[in-house]
A and B are shown apart, each in its own frame.
Chain A
Amino acid sequence: MNTTAKPSKYLKGATGDWEIVVGMEIHAQVTSHSKLFSGASTAFGGEQNSHVSLVDAAMPGMLPVINEECVKQAIRTGLGLRAQINHRSVFDRKNYFYPDLPQGYQISQFKDPIVGEGEVIVDVTPTEQIIVGIERLHLEQDAGKSLHDQSPNESFVDLNRSGVALMEIVSKPDIRSAEEARAYVSKLRTILRYLGTCDGNMEEGSLRADVNVSVRRPGGPLGTRCEIKNVNSIRFIGQAVEVEARRQIAIIEDGGKIDQETRLFDPGKGETRAMRSKEEAHDYRYFPDPDLLPLEFDQAYVDALASGLPELPDDKRARFIKEYGLPPYDAGVLVMERESADYFEEVARGRDAKISANWVINELFGRLNKEGKTIATSPVSAKQLGAIVDLISANTISGKIAKDLFEIVWSEGGDPNAIVEQRGMKQVTDTGAIEKAVDEIIAANPDKVEQAKAKPTMLGWFVGQVMKQTGGKANPQSVNDLLKQKLGI
């Protein structure tokens, strides 16, 4: 935690450089059919209070029973974070009153969490990686939702989320900039989605972050931190870190001091606001929940789960670099989502990996982004894109025609091979036809021929003319070779 950031990450203040120190608590909703301690459904968007069991509503005499699937998901996540899996953990009660907390306590894990220390390799930029330590991961219940907009003088409560399983993933204060904070959450989200333990859907609240921010002189002692609660998008996390750090620097540089407090980020105003001070903090009176036995399992149980894990993004990225010879940047982009990586591998199977990667990243991702689609809803299948790559590799079509072909497949669908046949998009490789076009262009432009002899880069102009004349179907390499030969350059 005393790692000092590179000077390029410092914030400039009026009195000198400042270093940001960030640690995060991520609340990730466990992907499971039913809640952590009841059989009620976890489906999102049901009618209010339609997914509530007697246990979730804390009726008298109701008792929690652990949902084993949630335990497995927590262990899988721990394994994905290269973390210590604790064979014995304990559920505690965190006591406080709130209308959306029916039991009057949240069942959580305080002293003995299911997962201990681990680490995440965070790709800050294509070429810069940092390691963020994981302090712990524990299982806990989500609360319900208070509705204040249904009546002028009453509040209502929706308990659909009450009791849904959350994993609280606590990082060490190893993050040193807003950019690193964004990259950390993004990487964690990628890992969770690979594992299938959290859908990472921030709009639906499946992933929320409490961001602890402090500032210090580079390498100096840690400053007082403020916790920014419930930030719900990666972009806002970056903004919150930035504005909070600026706020703290301004206070300190004005001779003030930072009060440890809980704050809220207002994305509209781009500021953080005090929520409650340390003095107002609850005394949660944690104690072991007597309704639940300690959670115990053996190493064989962990091993069985480990053997069922998918290849994780870091391993996949390394393999893509090694196996396909991809540049680290491309490999990194491709493994961001498991579906994208799978898509790429399907395209690249038995084909040129670099061409495949280019087409997936530049053409496909670019287009998907523009249209707001995902790989799962892509109009162009891996099979179709593979066929396009085959046509390029076989010199049947040129790169330029390939882009036209991609457009047709995107908007109309169909078999790329058949489209090329039917629409006469095949590249002209017949040297006679190309030579005829080359000769005509040279004959029609004696002045340009002279210029080209003096300035060989003029070749490009001739290539363009020939391509135009052949409707883009001439093989660019043949055109180049012929022109060079005939122009004597």
Chain B
Amino acid sequence: MMSDLTKLSLAEARDAVASKKVSSVELTKAHIDAIEKARGLNAFIVETPEKALDMAKASDARIASGKACPLEGLPLGIKDLYATQGVHMQACSHILDGFKPPYESTVTSQLWRDGAVMLGKLNMDEFAMGSSNETSYYGPVASPWLPPGWDADKGRSALKGDKKGLLVPGGSSGGSSAAVAAHLCLGATATDTGGSIRQPAAFTGTVGIKPTYGRCSRWGVAAFASSLDQAGPIARNVRDCAIMLRSMAGYDPKDSTSVNAPVPDYEKAVGASIKGKKIGIPKEYRIDGMPAEIEALWQQGIEWLRAAGAEIVDISLPHTKTALPAYYIVAPAEASSNLARYDGVRYGLRVPGKDISSMYENTRAEGFGREVRRRIMIGTYVLSAGYYDAYYVRAQKIRTLIKRDFELAYQDGIDAILTPATPSAAFGIGEKGSGDPVEMYLNDVFTVTVNMAGLPGLAVPGGLSASGLPLGLQLIGRPFEEETLFSVAEVIEQAAGRMSLPKAWW
């Protein structure tokens, strides 16, 4: 048996299990132990060790009978936004108190179909609304990356307290990114509405891809903003993401917005040459006040791709600046309606009242956290009579223009677009957004355009900041051409060198 099975990449673990060097039960036990020791990080909010071991045993039996599937025996973490049959699903909200769905989301059922093992449910921002995992009802997640200048003792004592000062793992998929970066699982499911896969991946030195809108089924994933939400994986390298996405993607007749297109073997694109690929560099992403090290990272990325034979082309996406404000109209508008079903009538939390209206009010006031309530109110406002045209309709028009920007670039032969993933490295817990929520919203400035246009976007580590924290680069692709992103991202990963993730201090 190998020394530390949690240090294997998902691809390595797959090969080890398939060749029977390691059993799924051994691999799963190693991760269960790691999760137990990492409880202080608060990445997993529900652990399902018995279920995991049962699934691992079943995997080992299939391997023994020569019927192994693509993800056979590989332990994964699942974001709490996904329905998992008979297992806690609360979108990290108080309002879904005690909810255990009698159904399994399409994406997770495809993972289990392919042999994967479920370790438990991962922390996240409440209903995926947040960029730091601080809006979770279950409390913040600490990044496995220690803040600059902190030693392990200081980190451990902060974990025992309110975690203030420790770094955020990004959000909303903060549990996913932290768990993957801390080697608590081989990979994790995540979701991305405005950057919730890519920003946490960038903050933790992991890889995450938000596929094209319609690539993965949304069935069984609690909705935040239906026209923007997409499922995707976070893993420790490009190949692992490619392997996971193949199982997660696919047409689902239960989701009218999912697209009936064949799912390629994404792993084959990892390592493919990018010679002659045209990479667009949009000037509008060079924003005011962008730290020099982000600019330098971007330049480094350009050099790597050029060195690999790609053609670098300066492009313009003129409506980029309007994307963030438009996003913060469209997403809350849809959310205000999507979250109306949490009313205390059928499931989850119910706080009694003197009549039905006060029951609604009490339940929703107590059940939703501050950020969710804020977005419901914004959404209700922008859809209301007299404001609809000024806000919602205009935001939709902007959305069309943003989409058009990308279409024109792709018409000019651009294969993928390279940008920074975030405007900064990870910040501290409790540091941002307490006064002005917009400070937090600005985290999504490079990522929301991709959701507004429905395109695939991938975040891959590009290096470390001056203070030693991971920084990510973002690749934006043509619709349903995730393969190009995997090829280009692999070049960056190879050039930058595999991210050296923190040793366990927690």
Instruction: List A residues at the B interface (Cβ < 8 Å).
Output: 54, 57-66, 93, 95, 97, 99, 102-105, 155, 157, 283, 285-287, 290-293
Q: Are A291 and B384 in contact (CB under 8 A)?
A: no
A54 touches B103 (CB 8 A): yes
Residue of A nearest to B385 (CB): A283
Across the interface, do B257 and A293 meet the contact criterion of CB distance under 8 Å? yes
- CB atoms of B383 and A61 under 8 A apart: no
Question: Which residues from chain A contact B102 at a C-beta distance below 8 Å?
Answer: 54
> Knowing that A59-B83, A60-B222, A104-B337 are A-B contacts, what are 18 other residue pairs whose CB atoms are under 8 Å apart, sorted by A's residue number?
A54-B102, A54-B103, A57-B346, A61-B101, A61-B105, A61-B220, A64-B256, A97-B340, A99-B343, A99-B356, A104-B343, A105-B337, A105-B340, A283-B384, A285-B388, A287-B334, A287-B388, A287-B392
Partner of A65, one of B225, B253, B340, B383: B253
Residues of B within 8 A of A60 (CB): 83, 89, 91, 96, 99, 101, 222-223, 341
Q: In the complex the two chains form, is B341's CB within 8 Å of A292's CB?
A: no
Which residues of chain A come closer than 8 Å to B82, judged between CB atoms? 61
With a cutoff of 8 Å between Cβ atoms, the chain A residues found around residue B256 in the complex are: 63-66, 291-293
Give the bracket for the number of chain B residues in contact with chain A. 35 or more
Please, which residues of chain A bring their CB within 8 A of the CB of B221? 61
Instruction: Tell me if B257 and A291 are in contact (CB < 8 A).
Output: yes
Residues of B within 8 A of A283 (CB): 384-385
Question: Can you list 17 A-B pairs with a CB-CB distance of less than 8 A?
Answer: A59-B83, A59-B101, A59-B103, A60-B223, A60-B341, A61-B218, A66-B256, A93-B337, A97-B357, A99-B356, A102-B341, A104-B340, A104-B343, A105-B337, A285-B385, A287-B383, A290-B227
B258 to chain A, nearest CB (A): 9
List residues 350-404 of chain B with CB under 8 A from any CB of chain A.
356-357, 360, 380, 383-385, 388, 392
Closest chain A residue to B99, Cβ basis: A60
B341 close to A58 (CB less than 8 A): yes
B21 within 8 A of A: no
Chain A residues with CB below 8 A from B333, complex form: 287
Using Cβ atoms and an 8 Å threshold, which residues of chain B touch A287? Answer: 333-334, 337, 383, 388, 392
Residue B226 is within 8 A (CB to CB) of chain A in the complex = yes
What is the CA–CA distance of A65 and B253 in the complex, to the nearest angstrom?
A: 8
User: In the complex, A237 Cα to B165 Cα: how many Å?
Assistant: 70
Q: Which residue of A lies closest to B357 (CB)?
A: A97
- Please tell me if the beta carbons of A97 and B343 are within 8 angstroms of each other in the complex: yes
CB of B275 within 8 Å of the partner chain: no
Within the complex, what minimum Cβ distance (angstroms) separates B224 from chain A?
11
Q: Please tell me if B137 contacts chain A, counting CB pairs below 8 Å.
A: no
- Nearest chain-B residue to A157 (Cβ)? B345
Given the complex of chains A and B, what is the CA–CA distance between A104 and B49 in angstroms?
37
B255 at the binding interface (Cβ < 8 Å): yes
The verdict on B219 contacting chain A, using a C-beta distance below 8 Å, is yes
With A99-B356, A285-B384 in contact, do A290 and B225 touch (Cβ < 8 Å)? Answer: yes
Known: A58-B341, A103-B340, A105-B337. A63 touches B254 (CB 8 A): yes
Chain B: CB-nearest residue to A59: B101
In chain B, positions 311-354 with a C-beta closer than 8 Å to chain A are: 333-334, 336-337, 339-341, 343, 345-347
Contact A103 B105 (CB under 8 A): no
Q: Which residues of A contact B346 (CB under 8 A)?
A: 57-58, 102
What B residues does A65 contact at CB under 8 A?
253-256
Which residue in chain B gives the minimum CB-CB distance to A159?
A: B346
With A54-B103, A95-B337, A99-B345 as contacts: A61 and B384 at CB distance below 8 Å: no
Q: With A and B bound together, what is the CA distance between A63 and B101 in angstroms?
A: 15
Q: How far is the CB of A290 from chain B (nearest CB, A)?
A: 4
A62 to B222, CA, bound (A): 8
Q: Which residues on the A side are within 8 Å of B392 (C-beta)? A: 287
**Which residues from chain A contact B385 at a C-beta distance below 8 Å?**
283, 285
Per-residue A-contact encoding for B163-191, CB less than 8 Å = 1, 0 else? 00000000000000000000000000000
Contact B341 A104 (CB under 8 A): yes
User: B39-75 interface mask toward A, CB cutoff 8 Å, 1 = contact, 0 = none?
Assistant: 0000000000000000000000000000000000000
> A54 — nearest CB in chain B belongs to which residue?
B103
Option from B337, B339, B341 in Cβ contact (under 8 Å) with A285:
B337
B99 proximity list for chain A (CB < 8 A): 60
Contact B334 A290, beta carbon cutoff 8 Å:
yes
Residues of B within 8 A of A66 (CB): 256
A61 lies within 8 A of B223 (CB): yes
> 0/1 per residue, B386-428, Cβ < 8 Å to A?
0010001000000000000000000000000000000000000
Q: How far is the CA of A104 from the CA of B360 in the complex (A)?
A: 11
Tell me whether A63 and B96 are in contact (CB under 8 A): no
Contacts of B345 in A (CB 8 A): 99, 102, 157
Q: How far is the CB of A479 from chain B (nearest CB, A)?
A: 77
Q: What is the distance, in angstroms, from B335's C-beta to the closest C-beta of chain A?
A: 11
10 smallest A-B Cβ distances: which pairs?
A104-B340, A290-B226, A290-B227, A285-B383, A58-B341, A60-B222, A61-B220, A283-B385, A61-B222, A99-B345
| Contact present for B343 and A62 (CB under 8 Å) | no
The docked-state distance in angstroms from the alpha carbon of A290 to that of B384 is: 17
Residues in chain B near residue A157, CB distance under 8 A: 345
Question: What residue of chain A has the Cβ atom nearest to residue B333's Cβ?
Answer: A287
Task: Give bound CA distance, A133 to B20, whole Å.
Answer: 75
Residues of B near A64 (CB, < 8 A) are 256
Q: Which residue of A lies closest to B255 (CB)?
A: A63
**Which residues of chain B have C-beta atoms less than 8 A from A58's C-beta?**
341, 346
Q: How far is the CA of A157 from the CA of B333 in the complex (A)?
A: 28
- Report the separation of the CA atoms of residues A157 and B356 in the bound assembly, to the nearest whole angstrom: 13
Please measure, in the bound complex, the distance between the C-alpha atom of A285 and the C-alpha atom of B391, giving whole angstroms. Answer: 12
Docked pose: A156 CA to B300 CA in angstroms: 63
**With a CB–CB cut-off of 8 A, which chain B residues contact A291?**
223, 226, 256-257
B437 to chain A, nearest CB (A): 22
